[in-house]
Amino acid sequence: MVPGRLIAYRDRVRSTLETAFETEHSPHDVAASFAAGVFITALPTLGTGLLVFVLLAAISDRVCKLALLASVVVLNPAVKWGVYAASFWLGNRILGPVPGISLSGVSLSAGPDIVARLLVGNLVIAVVFTVVGYAVVLRLVLAFRRRELELGDALPEVGSE
């Protein structure tokens, strides 16, 4: 059951990305849109990230809406819980553990310290995801379009003879 879900998830991500690759936007615009979407989606925006997507799409023609959508597919709500756990762990590594708090002794008074660690770790992870996402999508778009170009060049032109 799990391998089937993973295959379906992979296929959905691939399909969304390939549709984004076929847009009229430049490879840089597609990759930058995906990277911006990943950054916004990776942050704990509590749903307001979608409003930021709408705002970005409204103020700039260079934003590839499909690439923004693809970022949401990649960092979907189920995946974000893992990102948050990794963010808190990384925040603890950077800022140190919350003083006097163990897993069994978490209280509301420790809230600001816990949130600070979550946000610091999450910001670092979001930046890493953004840089990696831009590089990967740029390479994928270029390779995808190069393949399309080679296919088009191999076809004979109608009426050329």
Please report, for the chain, the start and end positions of each structural domain, with discontinuous segments joined by +: 2-150
- pLDDT value of residue 129: 94
Are the C-beta atoms of residues 114 and 106 closer than 8 Å to each other?
A: yes
Nearest residue to 141 via CA among 57, 20, 39, 38: 20
Tell me the C-alpha distance between 99 and 138, whole Å: 43
pLDDT in tens, 73-126: 888 777 888 888 899 889 989 998 877 666 555 555 667 888 888 899 999 999
